[in-house]
Structure 1
Amino acid sequence: MAIDLTLMSRGYCHLCHDMEVALKPLADEFGFSVTVVDVDADPVLEAKYDELVPVLLHGETELCHYFLDEAKTREYLAGIR
C-alpha cells in the first residue's frame, strides 16, 4: 500500500520548509511520499489552514502542525503499515 502524506505549506514559510526537510528521513524509512500543497493557491485551503501551516495530513487525518511531531508521526505510520 502506497502512503502519500500531504504537507499544507506556503512558499515563504520557513517552518514549512523545515518540516519538509525533517520529513525526508522518515519518508526514506517508512517509504511514503509527500505532496506539498501551497495553501495560498486555493482560497478554501487558505481559509482552512491559514494560521496553522505547516500542516501534515494523511487524507483528512491531521498528524501535526507548526512543527513535525516525529514520535506521533512514527506511531501513526507504524499503525497503518
Structure 2
Amino acid sequence: MMTKRIESTPVTPDQVKKLIVYGREDCHLCQEMIVALKNFQVQVSFEFHVVDIDSDPELIVLYGEKIPVLMSPLTNQLICHYFLDVAALDGYLGEFG
C-alpha cells in the first residue's frame, strides 16, 4: 500500500499580510477598527479589505454579533473582534515572518 505524501505549499509573506475586516456600513466599532488598522499600517506592512457582512446571509450568521472581525483568509484564523488587538495582530504577523 502506497501512501501519497502531501507536500505543504510554502506560505509567502504577501499571503500572510492580506487580511479581511468583516463589518457593516453603519457600525462605529467597524470604523474605529479600520482607523486603528490604518494607523498600525504606518508601523507594520500588511493589507486589509473590508467586507460588508450584509452582502451575504452566511456572513451575517457567522459574524453578526461579533463585528468588526479581523480575519486571516490564509489560515481562516480570527485575529480579533470588536476592537483591534495590536498584540494579537502582531503575533499573527510574526508567526510567519
Q: How far did 1:19 drift? A: 0.2
Asked whether 1:35 is paired with 2:49, we answer yes
Using the size of structure 2 for normalisation, the TM-score is 0.78
How many residues in Structure 1 have an aligned counterpart in Structure 2? Answer: 81
Larger-Rg structure: 2
| Higher fraction of helix | 1
In 2, the alpha carbon distance for the partners of 1:7 and 1:20 equals 8
In 2, the alpha carbon distance for the partners of 1:10 and 1:39 equals 6
2:82 paired residue among 54, 66, 73? 66
| Higher fraction of strand | 1
List runs of 5+ in structure 2 lacking aligned partners. 1-12
Q: Secondary structure at the match of 2:41?
A: helix
Asked whether 1:26 is paired with 2:40, we answer yes
1:56 paired residue among 67, 70, 75? 70
Q: Which residue of 1 aligns with 2:28?
A: 14
Deviation string, structure 1 residues 25-58 (Cα, Å, up to 9, x no partner): 3223221111100000100111110000000001
CA RMSD of aligned residues (A): 1.0
Using the size of structure 1 for normalisation, the TM-score is 0.92
Identity across aligned pairs (percent)?
41
